[in-house]
């Protein structure tokens, strides 16, 4: 192959001419790909191998007149290293700014055998040094029963995951070559310790090395934490809480899996939502919580049942509308979860006959000083079931005794 450069100067090389320019820098002169007979062959590190870090010493068969070294992120580039002229018979260079991200590194050794001769080069590729396991972070809690482990690129890798150090009763990847990730399925969901061992090999002839990691398994128990499954809801609105996931979704319905009462939509990483429009008749409410541990994971769900709040269990005695027995009367109701107040007066919401302090979870209160003139007596009871609920109240009317 031929190429004309520098006006009338014709340079013929045994391999393809890839560039032309002026004196000094190899990119400023006629350049060709070195043949096997030329010098510049890299002796170490072995072409195609994985670097041991950000620094690497390169050695090659030096050329008699001049030598030059490039390392870059693409073929022919020198964005990592550019040695400048190394002089005659210098066949070594320490590169100190190599990447450590497992990427491909392109290395060129330029060679000039005599004054006036063209620069020739040999080009090689290597894999940059990569970290061991980078994700999930060592010591972290796994996000589900399936997890993607990511790591640096090496000549070869192998991942073991088990219930004890070095074991592979959960996962044995086999040889992964220069892959940078591996999906591990069948992980436990009980919060136990998970052991991962990462083997790597820097080159075909290098020995296997390994590093051990521990993780905490995802726990399937981290679903609804409040209100307690099977309990009675505190009102027609209820805040449901759980340990956050990548995505969550809550249904409330009158049958299992239904959402005729409430459909939250995708809640993202939220760990609570207030469901509204719940019944107040003491019926069974079905709750389904969907969670997804990671975007690439399928949705999982758990079903729960609750007893709906009942609006009727407020004052149970004396019966609403009845005539009071005298100047003293004991009012009874079903206890609240957090607190109660009782007001008694001559008008709705009035307190001129009686105003209690917070009665807590008491379920009755004696009231004295009631009238005996046959007038209407108004009773208001306030109740609060939990700290997250607002105070609710009901009004009742009675007839004073004569």
pLDDT in tens, 168-186: 999 999 999 989 899 998 8
Per-residue pLDDT tens over the stretch 140-149:
888 777 789 9
Q: How far is CA 272 from CA 235, 241, 303, in A?
A: 17, 4, 16
Q: How far apart are CA 128 and CA 150, in angstroms?
A: 16
DSSP 10: E
The pLDDT of residue 292: 85
Residue with tokens 């450590």: 100
Residue 263: predicted pLDDT:
96
Work out the percent of the chain whose per-residue pLDDT is above 90.
Answer: 47
DSSP 178: T
Does domain 2-127 bear CATH number 2.60.40.10?
yes
> Exposed (0-12), middle (13-18) or buried (19+): which is 378, by Cβ within 10 Å?
buried
Structure letter (DSSP) for residue 359: -
Kindly give the pairing relationship between strand 247-253 and strand 262-263: antiparallel
Q: What is the pLDDT of residue 301?
A: 82
**Is residue 69 predicted with pLDDT exceeding 60?**
yes
Biggest CA-to-CA distance, the chain: 131
Helices (H) and strands (E) in the chain, counts: 0, 32
Indicate if the pLDDT at residue 56 is higher than 90: yes
DSSP strands (E only) in 34-127: 42-44, 56-60, 66-72, 81-82, 92-95, 104-112, 119-127
Please give the share of the chain, as a percent, with pLDDT higher than 70: 87
Q: Residue 394 — pLDDT band, cuts 50, 70, 90?
A: confident
This prediction's pTM: 0.37
User: What is the average pLDDT value for the chain, to the nearest integer?
Assistant: 83
Q: For residue 311, what pLDDT is reported?
A: 61
Ranges 15-29, 101-115, 118-132, 362-376: which has the least confidence: 15-29
Pairing of strands 31-33, 119-127: parallel
Query: Could you give the residue range(s) of every CATH 2.60.40.10 domain in the chain?
Result: 2-127, 133-216, 224-307
Name the pLDDT band for 211 (thresholds 50, 70, 90). confident
Strand runs labelled E in 136-231 = 147-151, 156-162, 171-172, 181-184, 193-201, 209-216, 224-226
pLDDT category at 28 given cuts 50, 70, 90 is low
Q: Do 314 and 334 contact (CB within 8 A), yes or no?
A: yes
Choosing among 1.10.3720.10, 1.10.510.10, 3.30.70.2190, 2.60.40.10, the CATH entry for 224-307 is 2.60.40.10
Could you give the angle at the alpha carbon of 28 between the alpha carbons of 25 and 32, nearest 5°?
Answer: 95
Domain 315-399 has CATH 3.40.190: no
326-381 pLDDT per residue, tens: 999 999 988 888 899 999 999 988 999 999 999 999 999 999 999 999 999 999 99
Nearest to 331 by CA among 401, 385, 390, 396: 396
Q: Which top CATH class is 133-216?
A: mainly beta
* Confidence (pLDDT) at 340: 92
- Whether residue 343 contacts residue 308, with contact meaning beta carbons closer than 8 Å, is answered with no
Average pLDDT over residues 79-106: 91
Ramachandran angles phi, psi of 222, nearest 5°: -80, 60
| Kind plus residue range of the DSSP H or E element containing 381 | strand 376-384
On the question of pLDDT at 1 being above 50, the answer is no
Q: Which long-range contacts (CB under 8 A, 24 or more apart) does 135-139 make?
A: 136/215, 138/213, 138/214, 138/215, 139/213, 139/214, 139/215, 139/216
pLDDT digits (tens, 9 = 90+) for 240-272: 999 888 899 999 999 988 999 999 999 999 999
Q: What is the pLDDT at residue 33?
A: 47
Q: Which residue has the tokens 């993607």?
A: 148
Distance of CA 203 to the CA centre of its chain: 33
Question: What are 294-341's pLDDT values in tens digits?
Answer: 787 778 888 888 888 776 558 889 988 889 999 999 999 888 888 999
**For residue 73, what pLDDT band results from cuts at 50, 70 and 90?**
very high
Q: Name the CA dihedral angle for 136, 139, 140, 141, rounded to a multiple of 10 degrees.
A: 120
Name the pLDDT band for 5 (thresholds 50, 70, 90): very low
Strand ranges of the sheet holding 171-172, from the earlier edge strand across to the other edge:
171-172, 156-162, 193-201, 209-216
**Are 168 and 161 contacting, i.e. CB atoms less than 8 angstroms apart?**
yes
């Amino acid at each position: 192959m031929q190429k004309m450069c520098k006006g009338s100067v014709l340079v013929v090389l045994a391999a393809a001419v890839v560039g032309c320019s002026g004196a000094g820098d190899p990119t400023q002169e006629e350049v060709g790909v070195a043949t096997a007979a030329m010098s510049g062959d890299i002796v170490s590190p072995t072409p195609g191998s994985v670097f041991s870090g950000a620094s690497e010493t390169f050695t090659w068969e030096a050329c008699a007149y001049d030598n030059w070294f490039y390392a870059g992120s693409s073929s022919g580039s020198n964005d990592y290293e550019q040695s400048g002229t190394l002089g005659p018979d210098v066949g070594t260079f320490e590169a100190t700014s190599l990447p450590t991200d497992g990427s491909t590194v392109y290395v060129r050794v330029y060679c000039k055998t005599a004054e006036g001769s063209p620069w020739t080069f040999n080009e090689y590729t290597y894999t940059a040094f990569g970290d061991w396991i980078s994700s999930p972070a060592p010591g972290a809690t796994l996000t589900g029963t399936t997890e993607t482990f990511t790591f640096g690129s090496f000549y070869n890798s192998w991942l073991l995951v088990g219930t004890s150090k070095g074991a592979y009763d959960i996962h044995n990847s086999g040889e992964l070559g220069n892959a940078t990730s591996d999906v591990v399925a069948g992980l436990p969901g009980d919060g136990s310790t998970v052991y991962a061992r990462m083997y790597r090999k820097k080159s075909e002839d290098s020995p296997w090395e390994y590093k051990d990691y521990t993780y905490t398994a995802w726990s399937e128990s981290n679903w609804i934490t409040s209100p307690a499954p099977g309990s009675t809801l505190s009102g027609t609105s209820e805040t449901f809480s759980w340990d956050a996931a990548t995505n969550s979704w809550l249904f409330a319905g009158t049958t299992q899996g239904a959402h005729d009462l409430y459909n939250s939509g995708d809640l993202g990483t939220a760990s609570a939502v207030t469901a509204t429009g719940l019944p107040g008749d003491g019926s069974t409410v079905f709750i389904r919580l969907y969670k997804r541990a990671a975007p690439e994971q399928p949705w999982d769900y758990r079903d729960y049942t609750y007893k709906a709040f009942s609006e009727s269990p407020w004052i149970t005695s004396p019966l609403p509308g009845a005539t009071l027995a005298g100047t003293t009367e004991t009012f009874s109701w079903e206890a609240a979860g957090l607190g109660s107040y009782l007001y008694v007066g001559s008008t709705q919401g009035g307190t001129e006959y009686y105003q209690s302090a917070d009665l807590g979870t008491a379920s009755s209160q004696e009231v004295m000083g009631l009238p005996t003139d046959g007038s209407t007596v108004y009773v208001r009871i306030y109740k609060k079931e939990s700290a997250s609920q607002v105070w609710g109240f009901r009004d009742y009317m009675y007839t004073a005794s004569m």
